[in-house]
């Protein structure tokens, strides 16, 4: 039956893969841009505002320290002159200048020029007033100096504190706005991620269904091809055995009879020749050659297809064949039988014999071993045969590609059995064939 072959599903699968990968790459680029924008937003606004707020809090603390110092300076119960607070105010001034310098760098882009100029100018005016106050104090004008603190310095300090507080509020509002924008970006990315995930899952589902359908059709074709291959292998092996049987019988019957007749004729002719003559010796020599050829023809006939398989069965054939292999190859073969023998179908016997023949040929040709073991076990529901050697073993590649091994697998499959090529612990190769009795 001819098979209707479909075109390969590879182009469709490749197209789906390309589309999926392109979508993943595009979406990855989009997400990268989004994340970069989010990171920039957090760095430029949230982190900068947070650091700026810390500096503003530092400035506000310094202003509060100034307020406390001025309160103490106005306290009439203090025994110290106003100039005693000079070093304390200088420390606060140094810290304020450092904080203002750092805050000015962090506030780039989030302050108007007027705001930045106001804070700097107010602080400069405040310290100018402090200098004038200390000049009055050093001149002994304590009363005028305290009056300047009450009327000018405290008011300037309060104004500065109010300005810094407004900047802190502004930073807080800016952080809230940045947080709102961040949440919006996260929400948008999350929605788009769900949409993209649904699209990708749909593409994967469609591709998977298409692949399942294609695989089912391909496996159906493979099943039909495997069935045809098995049928073809069975036909080829049957033809091979039929051909070998025909050649074996031709050699045994035709050539064997011809050589036997030649030997008889040469024997009779030798008897008519004079005793001790050259002719009689030549005839005797030719008769020996004919007998040797007859022995080789019979041996070749047995090798092609042992007649005793049909006459005596598998067990007797193996009893004859294994010693022959020992003589021909020089390999010591330990042969062991177990179980209760039972008769086998002629085809099953031929296949088991051929598998043993190929396994022993592999031992002689490839393993390099000088000893082998053959075990034949008749079980209740099956027959098991093992051929083991401790030689070089076989590689995985040769186990897949060897023609003889392929033929052994085909014969095992035709018997409905199973053949394994294993590596025993001592090294080498173990061929194990198990054939169910039903076959």
Q: Are residues 55 and 178 in the same domain?
A: yes
Q: What is the pLDDT of residue 6?
A: 54
Q: Are residues 333 and 187 in the same domain?
A: no
H or E segment to which residue 434 belongs: strand 429-436
Distances (CA, A) of 300 to 255, 261, 290, 312: 11, 19, 15, 19
Q: What is the pLDDT of residue 3?
A: 45
Decide if 287 contacts 293 (C-beta within 8 A).
no
Residue 232 falls inside a structural domain: no
Q: What is the pLDDT of residue 296?
A: 77
Question: Whose CA is closest to 302, among 251, 255, 265, 268?
Answer: 251
Residue 362 falls inside a structural domain: yes
Angle between helices 113-138 and 86-106 (to 10 degrees): 170
Decide if 160 contacts 118 (C-beta within 8 A).
no
H or E segment to which residue 385 belongs: strand 382-389
The residue among 191, 212, 233 that closes a domain is 212
H or E segment to which residue 91 belongs: helix 86-106
Q: What is the pLDDT of residue 395?
A: 66
Residue 420 falls inside a structural domain: yes
Q: Are residues 17 and 163 in the same domain?
A: yes
Instruction: Quote the tokens at residue 232.
Output: 């073809």
d(CA 223, CA 380): 32
Domain with residue 322: its CATH number is 3.30.565.10
The residue among 192, 212, 232 that closes a domain is 212
Instruction: Quote the tokens at residue 333.
Output: 């073969």
Q: What is the pLDDT of residue 84?
A: 85
Residue 152 falls inside a structural domain: yes
The Cα diameter of the chain in Å comes to 175
Residue 313 falls inside a structural domain: yes
Q: Are residues 74 and 208 in the same domain?
A: yes
Residue 260 falls inside a structural domain: no
Distances (CA, A) of 155 to 152, 176, 428: 5, 32, 104
Phi, psi dihedral angles at 338 (to 5 degrees): -145, 160
> CB neighbours of 286 closer than 8 A, spacing ≥ 6?
266
Residue 265 falls inside a structural domain: no
Distances (CA, A) of 183 to 1, 36, 42, 125, 294: 67, 15, 11, 43, 101
Q: Are residues 206 and 328 in the same domain?
A: no
Could you tell me which residues are beta bridge partners of residue 422?
A: 430
The residue among 163, 186, 212 that closes a domain is 212
Q: Are residues 63 and 172 in the same domain?
A: yes
DSSP letter, residue 395 = -
Q: Are residues 198 and 319 in the same domain?
A: no
d(CA 371, CA 68): 108
**Where do we find the tokens 């030689």?**
391
Q: Are residues 88 and 200 in the same domain?
A: yes
Please give the residue range of the domain that contains residue 62.
Answer: 10-212
Q: What is the pLDDT of residue 4?
A: 46
> CB neighbours of 92 closer than 8 A, spacing ≥ 6?
62, 65, 66, 69
Q: Are residues 330 and 203 in the same domain?
A: no
Q: What is the side-by-side order of every strand in the sheet holding 382-389?
A: 332-339, 371-378, 382-389, 429-436, 418-422
For the chain, the domain total comes to 2
Q: What is the pLDDT of residue 386?
A: 92
Tens digit of pLDDT at every position of the chain (439 positions): 444 445 666 776 677 777 777 777 887 777 777 777 666 666 666 677 778 888 888 888 988 998 888 888 887 676 778 888 888 888 998 998 888 888 878 775 566 777 778 888 888 888 888 898 888 888 888 888 888 888 888 888 888 888 888 888 887 887 787 778 778 877 887 888 888 888 888 878 887 788 788 888 888 888 888 778 777 777 777 787 678 777 777 766 677 677 777 777 877 777 777 776 777 777 777 877 877 887 777 777 766 767 777 777 888 888 888 998 898 889 999 999 988 888 777 678 888 888 988 899 889 888 888 999 999 998 888 899 999 998 888 765 555 556 778 888 888 888 888 999 988 888 889 999 999 887 6
Decide if 49 contacts 175 (C-beta within 8 A).
yes
d(CA 192, CA 112): 37
Query: By CB neighbour count within 10 A (0-12 exposed, 13-18 middle, 19+ buried), where does 262 fall?
Result: middle
pTM summary value:
0.49
Other beta carbons within 10 angstroms of residue 404's beta carbon come to 16
Q: Are residues 196 and 69 in the same domain?
A: yes
Residue 236 falls inside a structural domain: no
Strand 332-339 and strand 371-378: pairing?
parallel
d(CA 335, CA 315): 11
């Amino acid at each position: 039956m001819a098979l209707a072959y479909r075109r390969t599903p590879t182009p469709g699968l490749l197209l789906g893969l390309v589309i999926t990968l392109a979508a993943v790459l595009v979406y990855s680029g989009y997400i990268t841009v989004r994340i970069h924008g989010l990171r920039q937003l957090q760095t430029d606004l949230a982190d900068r505002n947070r650091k700026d707020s810390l500096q503003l809090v530092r400035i506000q603390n310094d202003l509060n320290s100034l307020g406390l110092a001025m309160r103490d300076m106005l306290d009439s119960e203090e025994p110290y002159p106003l100039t005693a607070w000079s070093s304390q105010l200088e420390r606060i001034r140094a810290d304020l200048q450092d904080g203002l310098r750092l805050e000015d760098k962090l506030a780039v882009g989030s302050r108007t020029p007027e705001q930045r100029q106001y804070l700097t100018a107010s602080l400069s005016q405040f310290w100018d007033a402090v200098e004038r106050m200390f000049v009055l104090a050093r001149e002994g004008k304590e009363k005028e100096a305290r009056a300047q603190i009450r009327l000018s310095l405290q008011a300037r300090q309060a104004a500065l504190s109010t300005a810094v507080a407004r900047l802190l509020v502004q930073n807080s509002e800016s952080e809230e706005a940045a947080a709102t924008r961040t949440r919006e970006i996260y929400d948008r990315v999350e929605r788009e991620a769900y949409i993209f995930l649904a699209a990708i899952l749909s593409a994967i589902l469609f591709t998977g269904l298409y692949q399942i359908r294609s695989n089912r059709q391909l496996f159906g074709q493979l099943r039909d091809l495997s069935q045809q291959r098995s049928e073809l292998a069975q036909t080829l092996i049957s033809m091979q055995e039929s051909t070998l049987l025909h050649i074996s019988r031709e050699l045994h019957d035709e050539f064997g009879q011809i050589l036997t007749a030649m030997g008889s004729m040469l024997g009779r002719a030798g008897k008519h020749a004079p005793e001790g003559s050259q002719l009689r010796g030549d005839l005797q020599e030719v008769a020996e050659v004919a007998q040797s050829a007859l022995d080789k023809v019979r041996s070749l006939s047995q090798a092609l297809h042992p007649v005793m398989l049909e006459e005596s069965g598998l067990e007797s054939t193996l009893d004859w064949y294994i010693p022959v292999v020992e003589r021909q190859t020089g390999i010591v073969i330990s042969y062991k039988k177990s179980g209760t023998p039972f008769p086998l179908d002629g085809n099953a016997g031929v296949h088991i014999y051929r598998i043993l023949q190929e396994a022993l040929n592999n031992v002689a040709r490839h393993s390099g071993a000088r000893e082998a073991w053959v075990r034949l076990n008749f079980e209740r529901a099956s027959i098991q045969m093992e051929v083991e050697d401790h030689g070089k073993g076989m590689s995985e590649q040769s186990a897949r590609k060897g023609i003889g091994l392929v033929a052994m697998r085909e014969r095992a499959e035709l018997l409905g059995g199973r053949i394994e090529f294993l590596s025993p612990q001592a090294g080498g190769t173990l061929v194990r064939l198990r054939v169910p009795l039903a076959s």
